[in-house]
Amino acid sequence: MAHPSHPIALDPARAIGRRAVLAGLGALFAAHPALAQSGPRLPDGNARFIVPFAPGGSVDVLGRAVAKAVSETPGLQVVVENVAGGSTNLGSERVAKSAPDGLTVLVASDSLAINKSLFRDLGFDPVASFEPVTLAISAPQILVTHPKSGFTDVAGFVAAVRARPGGLNVGLPGLGVIGHLASEVVNLRLGGLKVNHIPYNGGAPATRDLIGGHLDALYITLPAVTSQVREGSLVGLAVTSATRPGALPAVPSFAEGVIPGLDLVSWQGFLLPAGTRRELVEGWHALIAGALKSPEVVHTLSGLGFDIIADGPKAFGALIKADVARFADVVREAGLARS
């Protein structure tokens, strides 16, 4: 037991992470003095990060890494709740209909923008129902398979799909998610390939089935499977970004020869319910951006293949509006719209 007259040493990584989070909040109020006088900047007590996917996927990894870091803030504790289902609509709707008190935060992916075109009756609007807080990260989609599949490159996979139209089972983290759109775009660009899509409630259960040999391949956000590709339990065939990923430099891009010009990169970020006070939105952005710059979080996210962005509410809101229109074209081209 430590002697009462001596302070207990803090873990250096945790101390640095706390300083980064608090420094972000301090910088915000130094730049905007009016915010310091406008009431509570963050709620006291337990806040919730709602992740609309099953545990273990890339959105869950982001949410838990940031939740751990911001929970170092005095008076604030964050718990992560996984609300999977409905192609992310269940979790998104829960946040949209929550009280705008700063206690409920959505950890969103670009499915939020995609679903505006995919579903006619969402029960919420991706723009009007939320206050954008922080555009956190971006990452490509990756096409992966398992070592016993016999596929060693994307050309072999494409040849097999052409030889057996509709005969290969390709997993998706959900219907209409960015991995689904990536698969449809690839299939369309290669002349109308046909695969049998198998949707899941998140990347983690889909990955488990792929490793178990129940799927032939899987489209998924790269950081969700970086470790498995490195250790050899999965084989990376190609990524949807224009260039190879720094986290997995041996994995080629589709653009290198299969589909020249393809560049489809996904994003993830944090939002609050519409009507949340500006000082709370800005306070959360300062905390989250500070967390994203802390050494521990940078090490976790960058090592998995996330590109850390940490843009604020204005830039994030503009991106969501632009992507609602951009993905509408892809959904229409692929014939995915549902009632």
3-state secondary structure at position 177: coil
Residue showing tokens 């979790």? 91
Regions of the chain with pLDDT less than 70: 1-40, 338-339
Is the alpha carbon torsion for 50, 53, 55, 58 positive or negative?
negative
Return the bridge partners of 119, or none.
338
3-state secondary structure at position 164: coil
Query: What pLDDT, on a 0 to 100 scale, did the predictor assign at position 13?
Result: 44
Query: What pLDDT, on a 0 to 100 scale, did the predictor assign at position 148?
Result: 94
Query: What pLDDT, on a 0 to 100 scale, did the predictor assign at position 15?
Result: 45
Query: What pLDDT, on a 0 to 100 scale, did the predictor assign at position 215?
Result: 98
Residue showing tokens 């709602």? 50
Determine contact, residues 35/282, Cβ cutoff 8 Å.
yes
Query: What pLDDT, on a 0 to 100 scale, did the predictor assign at position 73?
Result: 87
pLDDT digits (tens, 9 = 90+) for 176-212: 889 999 999 999 999 999 999 999 989 999 999 999 9
Amino acid of residue 79: V
Query: What pLDDT, on a 0 to 100 scale, did the predictor assign at position 23?
Result: 52
Return the bridge partners of 183, or none.
none
pLDDT digits (tens, 9 = 90+) for 251-280: 999 999 899 999 999 999 999 999 999 999
Query: What pLDDT, on a 0 to 100 scale, did the predictor assign at position 133?
Result: 98
Domains of the chain: 12-138+267-334 (3.40.190.150), 140-256 (3.40.190.10)
